[in-house]
Amino acid sequence: MAVAATVAYLALGAAPAAAHVEVAGAQPNGDGTTTLTFSFDHSCDGSPTTELVVALPDAVTATATVTPGGWSGAVTDRRVTFTGPGLETAQVGVTTRITAQAGDTLIFPVLQRCADGGSYDWIDITADSEHPAPRLIATNAVLAAQPDTTAAPTPAAAGRPVQEQGGGATLSQTLAVLAAFVLAAATTGFVLARRA
């Protein structure tokens, strides 16, 4: 049990002290998957949280969700959406396969939506910003089994640039995910404003 706690602690890296949506745990399942736990300990100025949308970096695929009572989770493409009756604090989980390299920092932009239409966009890449995206520093313990890298690379892999061969997302890929999230947030705000 102490080993699992240490693995989770080391995998998280330095977490900001202020209230944010965070990766609260990374539990290896022994089958090449890891369950990531995302937590929030506040809502929107007293209005409870009704939805979290988590964007997955390229090196992470989701296979299942773990939800609090009354909530549901859905995996679609590069996103995992959790919805349910309003909660002030909660934890949600995602069973994942992580194919990054040990030491890679994986960024998970999150949209937090509340019952009154308020929201927070936890999408900043910088850890000490006002709205940092949850992050995980990959360790060998949380990674899916990797193919043998001692063998000679295939001709197709040998011809690709280094950043395409690795499991971590490039800066341009991360920025593209963030831009899509900002656009989705703006669209949601526009629709809610029209309804009002």
Q: What is the pLDDT of residues 39-65, one digit of tens each?
A: 998 888 889 999 999 999 999 999 999
Token duo for residue 174: 């991360």
pTM over 0.85: no
- Burial of 167-194, coded b for 16+ CB within 10 Å and e otherwise, reads bbbeeeebeebbeebeeebeebeeeeee
DSSP 70: T
* Sign of the CA dihedral running 185, 187, 190, 191: negative
Helices and strands, number each (H, E), in the chain: 4, 11
Domains and CATH numbers, the chain: 2-145+158-195 (2.60.40.2230)
pLDDT digits (tens, 9 = 90+) for 98-144: 999 999 999 999 999 999 999 999 999 998 899 999 999 999 999 98
